């Protein structure tokens, strides 16, 4: 059994992306996953599976399409990848709620920083398929836009740390 962390794109407490976490857990169980745990109402779920990450992702996306009636993008990481992100945080002195990780399916483009719009005091550090962003004035006040944000999903370091903890000893 492998433990995987699924990060759903555009799922939140209210609005058009609303998906109660109890329903998300049930979708995961119906996809054949076990030991399913969710964390906060923003589309974070940790589960165990015998399937490869690609098969697990396809099963979860199919279940979400069936449940929600529309496609829901899923990005998967394992616990080791989450723990590695925490260890590689380029902003160790910053408050964890002021540092976020943009999770992508593929490597960030080389011109990522050059294509940033609305950038003020934010620092951006690409790291393979992930992008660290330090929001010294807070995410809510930021106007930063990166073209790849439409393809990925963002979590602050507190959430990354909790997901890494939930997957401990599992992957």
Residue at a domain's end among 28, 63, 80: 80
17: in domain: yes
Q: How many domains does the chain have?
A: 2
Residue 40 confidence (pLDDT): 87
Confirm whether 97 is domain-assigned.
yes
Query: Of 2, 3, 22, 19, which is closest to residue 166 (Cα–Cα)?
Result: 3
Q: 9 and 71 in one domain?
A: yes
C-alpha Rg value of the chain to the nearest Å: 16
Q: What is the model's pLDDT at position 17?
A: 63
Is pLDDT of 170 > 70? no
Alpha-carbon span 52 to 82, nearest angstrom: 18
pLDDT in tens, 5-54: 999 987 754 555 678 889 999 999 999 999 999 998 888 999 999 999 99
- Whether residues 24 and 51 fall in one domain: yes
Burial class (CB in 10 A: 0-12, 13-18, 19+), 102: buried
CA proximity to 11, closest of 58, 70, 82: 70
Residue 168 located in a structural domain = no
Confidence of residue 166 (pLDDT cuts 50, 70, 90): very high
Residue 165 lies in a domain: no
Q: Establish if 132 belongs to a structural domain.
A: yes
What's the domain range around 109? Answer: 85-157
d(CA 9, CA 47): 17
End-of-domain residue from the set 51, 80, 109: 80
Say yes or no to pLDDT of 106 above 90: yes
pLDDT of 16 reads 57
What pLDDT is recorded for position 12? 59
Phi, then psi, of 42 in degrees rounded to 5: -140, 25
């Amino acid at each position: 059994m492998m433990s995987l962390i699924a990060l759903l794109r555009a799922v939140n407490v209210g609005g058009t992306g609303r998906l109660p976490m109890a329903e998300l857990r049930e979708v995961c169980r119906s996809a054949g996953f076990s030991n399913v745990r969710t964390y906060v109402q923003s589309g974070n779920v940790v589960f165990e599976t015998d399937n490869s990450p690609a098969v697990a992702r396809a099963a979860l996306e199919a279940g979400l399409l069936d449940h929600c009636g529309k496609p829901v993008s899923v990005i998967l990481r394992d616990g080791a990848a989450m723990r590695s992100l925490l260890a590689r945080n380029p902003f160790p002195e910053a408050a964890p709620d002021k540092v976020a990780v943009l999770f992508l399916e593929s490597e960030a483009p080389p011109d990522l920083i050059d294509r940033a719009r609305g950038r003020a005091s934010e620092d951006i550090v690409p790291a393979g398929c992930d992008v660290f962003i330090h929001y010294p004035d807070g995410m809510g006040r930021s106007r930063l836009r990166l073209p790849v944000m439409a393809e990925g999903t963002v979590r602050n370091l507190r959430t990354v740390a909790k997901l890494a903890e939930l997957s401990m000893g599992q992957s």
